[in-house]
Amino acid sequence: MQHSYVSPSVMADILYNKFVMGIPFCRQSMDFALSGISLSKQTMINWANSIVPGFLDDVSTYMCTRLVKERYIQNDETFIQVNKDGRSPGHKSYMWVHCTSELSDCDPIVVFCYEATRGTDHLRKLFGEFMGYITCDAYVSYQVLESEADGNITVTGCMMHCRRYFAEAFFVNDVASMTDEELAGLPETKVLLLIRAVYAEENRLRDMLPHERKQARLGSVKPRLDELFEYIHFLDGSDDTYSERMQKAVSYAVNQEKHLRVFLEDGSIPIDNGRAERIIRSYSIGRSNWLFADSIKGAYVNATMYSIVETAKANDVNVKMYLQYLLEKIPVCQGEKNDEFWEYMMTWSPAYKEYEKKTAESVINAYGRMFPEPISRRYD
């Protein structure tokens, strides 16, 4: 940038601290000041709002293009506060998260998308040409998308959400004052134990290939799942009066049974939406520190950066090195930035892996001169 001393390494460090370590720009400015460097929060914001859209947006766009070509995708969404979005105070904006299935054998991809609303239009735009399975919670927009897709999209449910409702219903009871026999007799306990049995069988199959997992599920997981829903249907038809939470849990399970059973059809479909929820958690921890995006542009920067950072983490690469790699290579590219070039920029490309190995070796060698004890070499 003209009239600026920002470099790829400096910017990579600032972005890493913000989007991986969750350190807001204001705290980074304070840290720089302690080292005698005058670098204001606003300067860092200006750098991010210029450099990320200018050089890194196309990286997340290419990731999105790659993502929708896959057959198995997991989805979730969470809120983001945007201060200057032209709406009255109190409106929520949303960060949608889409990622490849944790059971598929492709390179992991994570994409964050900022939207002002939680409406179905975002899903229609993103999945317009998608054909495959979408794992998600019971949010109605996914069901609408499935109904509009003429059989090209199948929604699969999340057993984790189903279990969560029954767990909440369990703790409505005064469990602290109950005996072990009374706890064991609760219908909430029985459902949770049945769900645990389903997971116990499913977890044994995690290291199998998809076609092997499908066959094994039919032999070991399906009977447990049948037993679970047989008991839930018994509860649904019972005359007993349950708590409001329990009624909600039973209703959720009955209404979502079709979607909760879909994972039995294909070994690459996960039993729950755990991967997307774990990614959301990583984002939420950062959000608890920086609280909000000051502008719509800042919200889009957040979406781009979390797409790049979470994809790098999912591929088990050094995030800071990867950010520096992108900031070194993209600005100096003189040729056409086509799909071949963006593939060269991905975490799984041989070019990046070689870059990370060489960079890591130089760091290890530098530390080796400082410390007599040998340092573990991850890249050997």
User: Measured on CA atoms in the order 333, 335, 336, 341, is the torsion positive or negative?
Assistant: negative
pLDDT at 246: 95
Number of neighbouring beta carbons within 10 Å of residue 89 = 6
Helices (H) and strands (E) in the chain, counts: 18, 7
Give pLDDT, residue 372.
61
99-132 burial: b if 16+ Cβ within 10 Å, else e: bbbbbbeeebbbbbbbbbebebebbeebbeebeb
Residue 64, class by beta-carbon neighbours within 10 Å (0-12 exposed, 13-18 middle, 19+ buried)? middle
Confidence bin at 218 (pLDDT 50/70/90)? very high
Residue 71, pLDDT > 60, answer yes
3-state secondary structure of 113: strand
- pLDDT for residue 357 is more than 60: yes
- Check pLDDT > 80 for residue 349: yes
Name residue 95's beta-bridge partners: 78, 114
Confidence at 374, pLDDT banded by 50, 70, 90: low
Q: How confident is the model at residue 2 (pLDDT cuts 50, 70, 90)?
A: confident
Q: What confidence score (pLDDT) does residue 138 get?
A: 92
Q: Which two tokens stand for residue 52?
A: 């990320």
The whole-number pLDDT of residue 160 equals 96
Per-residue pLDDT tens over the stretch 90-125 = 788 999 999 999 999 899 999 999 999 999 999 999
210-243 as b/e: b if 16+ CB within 10 A:
eeebbebbeeebeebbeebbebbeebeeeeeebe
Of 36, 35, 64, the C-alpha closest to 130 is: 64
Strand 153-156 relative to strand 132-135: parallel, antiparallel, unpaired?
Answer: parallel
CA angle, residues 135, 187, 161, in degrees to nearest 5? 15
- The model carries a pTM of 0.90
Mean per-residue pLDDT of the chain? 92
Lowest-pLDDT range of 111-120, 166-175, 237-246: 237-246
Cα separations (Å) of 266 from 33, 262, 270, 275, 328?
55, 8, 9, 18, 41
> Furthest-apart CA pair in the chain: how many Å?
76
